[in-house]
Amino acid sequence: MAKKETNIVENLLPLLGACPMPILDHKEIVLGHGSGGKLTQQLVEKMFLPRFQNELLAPLHDGAVFFLNGVRLAFSADSYVVSPIFFPGGNIGELAVNGTVNDLVMCGARPLYLSVSFILEEGFPIDDLWRIVCSMQEAAAKAEVALVTGDTKVVDRGKGDKIFVNTSGLGLVDDGIEISPALARPGDAIIINGPIAVHGIAIMSVREGLEFETLIESDTVALNSLAEAMFTASRGIHVLRDPTRGGVASALNEIAAKAQVGISISEDQIPISEEVKGACAILGLDPLYVANEGKLLAFVSPSESEKVLSAMQNHPLGREARIIGKVVADHPGRVVMKTRIGGSRIVEMLSGEQLPRIC
């Protein structure tokens, strides 16, 4: 009975021009909705996807990939609200350039053009803005992309938090390159290009109320040159993903769910620096859920994995690259980790907020 009524309401809606409000777990937005974990997923799947629905959005990849006049393009966007805006190893502007470049790279694209939009709070020091702008220009030059359009808005003091940056980007996808989380296949080797959890810990180390002495610097970097070296070595790469918000655990869970495959990783193969390990132990954080900004996960067909791995290890951004696990046919949708001690456990998606506003 109840079901029938719903159908009537749904049928009437186009006539009434109304928009049925999806039922979510919360009545207000909470920080967890931006954590990249389950709450973000809920917002995207229940609110954005059903209303905006189209075939390019549906894969929920890092960007949309499409043909335009015979040319294959990737298009992606991201906003940056990190606090503090200057942190060891980088700042919000550099992060905004590298982040969108990397989102395009994860679509298999060669990034070309970026837009930049600033939302500035009244009273924000011009000197700070200049530092940010200069480092954005340097980051763009390094990544060989051009910042070709943009926008500036200023909000009243207290209505923003110093500076928010949004970037979007366009890139070209070469023929023969097919990269998508849905393409992960049993047998694929899972490779990471270096030690995890560096960015998140660098940010935490300078957070108000939590300053601790450390030499850890953010790993923020554009990954397009590394990806190019990998594609030159082999076309057997199925999935690329940058484990930013939510860390390696969330990225692997998303891929396992999209491709309906199982993922098996070994804790003792996951590279992590002593400093980061120590900081995580002190702060009670699981490094698998801590954000990265210069890391990528590559899923590579087993016969090509050694080739890709050595191409990565020969590149400055992949010296410490390592195979951390593989795709399996068992336990589809789940990530299982063999623990250092010989036991095993399921690695879940982050369900709330581990670190507020990391990237």
Partner 1 sequence: MRYLDEYRNEQLAQNVLKEICRVQTKPWVLMEVCGGQTHTIVKYGLDHLLPSEIELVHGPGCPVCVTSLEMIDKAHAIAARPDVIFCSFGDMVRVPGSQVDLLILKSRGADVRIVYSPLDCLNIAKANPEKEVVFFAIGFETTAPANAMAVWRAKQEGLKNFSILVSHVLVPPAVASILESPLNRVQGFLGPGHVCAVMGYEEYEPISARFKVPIVITGFEPLDLLEGVLMVVRQLEAGKAEVENQYGRVVTREGNRRAQRLVNQVFEVGDQKWRGVGSIPKSGYKLRSEFREYDAERLFQIEQIDTQESTVCISGLVLQGVKKPHDCPAFGKECNPEHPLGATMVSAEGACAAYYLYGRHSQGHSQLVEVRSP
Interface ranges with partner 1 (CB under 8 A): 25-26, 28-32, 38-39, 209-210, 268, 274, 277-278, 281, 283, 330-331, 334, 336, 338-348, 351-353
Distance CA 196, CA 294 (A): 9
Residue 267 C-beta: closest distance to partner 1, Å: 9
Residue 354 C-beta: closest distance to partner 1, Å: 9
Distance CA 147, CA 141 (A): 10
195/318 with CB nearer partner 1: 195
Structure-token pair, residue 226: 């590394």
Residue 263 C-beta: closest distance to partner 1, Å: 12
37/93 with CB nearer partner 1: 37
Residue 342 C-beta: closest distance to partner 1, Å: 5
Which residue in 167, 260, 276 sits closest to 214, CA to CA?
276
Distance CA 179, CA 31 (A): 31
CA separation, residue 348 to residues 38, 45, 114, 266, 357 (Å): 10, 19, 34, 15, 21
72/331 with CB nearer partner 1: 331
Strands (E), 71-209: 71-80, 86-87, 90-91, 109-121, 146-155, 163-173, 189-192
The answer to whether the CB of 188 falls within 8 A of the CB of 302 is yes
Distance CA 11, CA 283 (A): 52
Exposed, middle or buried: residue 117 (CB in 10 Å: 0-12, 13-18, 19+)? middle
180/273 with CB nearer partner 1: 273
322/338 with CB nearer partner 1: 338
Residue 109 C-beta: closest distance to partner 1, Å: 34
Strands (E), 215-287: 237-241, 262-266
Structure-token pair, residue 279: 């900081």
How far the first Cα of the chain sits from its last, in Å, is 46
Residue 335 C-beta: closest distance to partner 1, Å: 9
17/342 with CB nearer partner 1: 342
77/283 with CB nearer partner 1: 283
Residue type, 309: L
Residue 340 C-beta: closest distance to partner 1, Å: 5
Residue type, 50: P
Residue 32 C-beta: closest distance to partner 1, Å: 7
51/345 with CB nearer partner 1: 345
Q: In what helix (H) or strand (E) does residue 334 lie, and over which residues does it extend?
A: none
Structure-token pair, residue 232: 């030159």
